[in-house]
Amino acid sequence: MPVPIELRAVSHAYKTDSGPLPVLRDLNIKMAEGSFTAVVGPSGCGKSTLTRLIAGLMRPDEGQVWLGGEIVTSPRATVGMAFQNPVLLEWRSILQNVMLPLEIVKNKLSKSQREDRARQLLALVGLEGFEDKRPSELSGGMRQRASLCRSIVHRPQVLILDEPFGALDAFTREDLWQTMHDLRSEEPFTCLLITHDLRESVFLADEVVVLSGRPATAQYKLTVDLGDNRKIDDLYTAKAVDMLATLRHQIEVAQGRAPAEAAE
Ligand SMILES: Nc1ncnc2c1ncn2[C@@H]1O[C@H](COP(=O)(O)OP(=O)(O)OP(=O)(O)O)[C@@H](O)[C@H]1O
Ligand SMILES: [Mg+2]
């Protein structure tokens, strides 16, 4: 079952040769269970750092990350992750790649149940018939679909996506947005999406958090009220265009290119 994610007063700095590099400063974000939050912000502001802290790969210098009422101190099997470049194993078929987490994460499924689960997800993202192919036989978009299946096959409570669609062409990307949106109604998880693409954030998320420049703090939060059953055309409605303009302005503020006073 999905769990809430909460960052409480999180601050973090990396140790570098030229001294500490403060990356996150007093960051507070709440994500309700089952919600979808997108985080946008200037390049290098600390978005991937945020994902590492939530995944328990690092601990913050100050503050805490809470997952479902527990402080995160180490990596958990109940978190799924996907990145810009899906790392699929070439010596395994697509089906075997998707089944991989079920071989690693403790579960009670039999071999045939694992296979059924993987097949069901692949069908859900439109990869029925490609189960026995090798990763190199698939297009980039198809590989990313397979990677998404792999990230949720073990039914994680939390799904972390760090620019998963960033390397795809515009049309393939929109197809995958729709797939991701539809997947959400079938699979329960609390999702954090890192993206550079404001349209992507508005299409997929319930809430968009704009991070300021480094050291990043939550500069602006936007609630996206486009409903639960979204289509790409919704991005061309006046409501969506308004939200995109607001976010674009906030990014300019974060980059120091527009004065904060003009912000809403
Ligand atoms: N392991 C590390 N050691 C030292 N500095 C680091 C380390 N990882 C990241 N940084 C620095 O911390 C800052 C934030 O990095 P991070 O990868 O979190 O940014 P980001 O917002 O994900 O960037 P992008 O949008 O380009 O993906 C950057 O200045 C980066 O150079
Ligand atoms: Mg990053």
In a domain, 208, yes or no: yes
pLDDT mean across residues, the chain: 93
CATH number assigned to the domain comprising residue 21: 3.40.50.300
The string of pLDDT tens digits covering residues 163-174 is: 999 888 899 999
In a domain, 35, yes or no: yes
- Where do runs of H (alpha helix) occur along the chain? 47-54, 94-104, 111-124, 140-152, 170-186, 198-204, 238-254
| 10, 16, 49, best to mutate for ligand 1 pocket (most atoms within 8 Å of CB) | 49
The string of pLDDT tens digits covering residues 239-250 is: 999 999 999 999
In a domain, 31, yes or no: yes
- DSSP calls for 62-93: EEEEEETTEE--S--TTEEEEESS----TTS-
The string of pLDDT tens digits covering residues 111-130 is: 999 999 999 999 999 999 99
pLDDT score recorded for residue 39 = 97
| 10, 11, 14, 15, best to mutate for ligand 1 pocket (most atoms within 8 Å of CB) | 14
pTM: 0.94
Q: What percent of the chain has pLDDT over 90?
A: 84
| CA of 46, nearest ligand number | 1
In a domain, 15, yes or no: yes
> Which ligand 1 atom minimizes the distance to the CA of 163?
27
Distances (CA, A) of 97 to 125, 145, 171, 181, 227: 15, 12, 25, 23, 34
Is 80 exceeded by the pLDDT of residue 262? no
**How many domains are there within the chain?**
1
In a domain, 174, yes or no: no
Burial profile 184-202: b = 16 or more Cβ within 10 angstroms, e = fewer = beebebbbbbbbebbbbbb
What range does the domain containing 70 cover?
A: 1-78+158-169+191-227
Find the helix or strand (DSSP H, E) in which 26 lies: strand 19-31
Residues in the chain: 264
- Give 39 Cα–ligand 1 centroid separation in angstroms: 15
In a domain, 234, yes or no: no
In a domain, 206, yes or no: yes
Are 175 and 6 within 8 A, CB to CB? no
Ligand 1 site, CB within 6 A: 14, 16, 21, 23, 43-49
Task: Compute φ and ψ for 118, nearest 5 degrees.
Answer: -65, -45
In a domain, 91, yes or no: no
Strand order in the sheet with 62-67: 19-31, 5-16, 62-67, 70-71
pLDDT score recorded for residue 41 = 95
